[in-house]
Amino acid sequence: MEAVGWRQPFVRETGAVAAQFHLPYAVEPYSAELLATPRGIVLGKKSGLASISIKCHDLNLDVPVDKHPALLAAVKELAIKKHGLLTDADFQGLVKTVA
């Protein structure tokens, strides 16, 4: 999911909420399917390790878990530099650099 769709009500950036992404009923008042709205993770300065793991899975990227902290630091640094969220292409570029 590209960052341009971040305004969707079922798209999350923060790490704490992303950590419970697999339990939508824990963080969402009703089902995304009810509204035919996509669920997803975007990456930015508020992302956490769970966000990195989910995004790697979503994009079929094989990144060793021990590289996730460095990747998260790179995500936060780029998001601050961009003053915004990362695109999937941004993230894939960071994966090539960090992993």
The per-residue pLDDT string of the chain (99 residues; one tens digit each, 9 = 90 and over) reads: 444 444 566 566 565 556 555 666 566 666 666 777 766 788 999 999 989 998 999 999 999 999 999 999 999 999 999 999 999 999 999 999 997
CA dihedral 62, 65, 66, 69 (to 10 degrees): 100
Q: Which pLDDT does position 22 carry in this prediction? A: 60
57-74 burial: b if 16+ Cβ within 10 Å, else e: eeeebebeeeebeebbeb
Instruction: Report the pLDDT value the prediction gives residue 3, as an integer from 0 to 100.
Output: 45
Please state, in angstroms and rounded to a whole number, the distance separating the CA atoms of residues 23 and 17.
Answer: 10
- Name the pTM for this structure: 0.74
* pLDDT score of 25: 58
Predicted local distance difference test score (pLDDT) of residue 67: 97
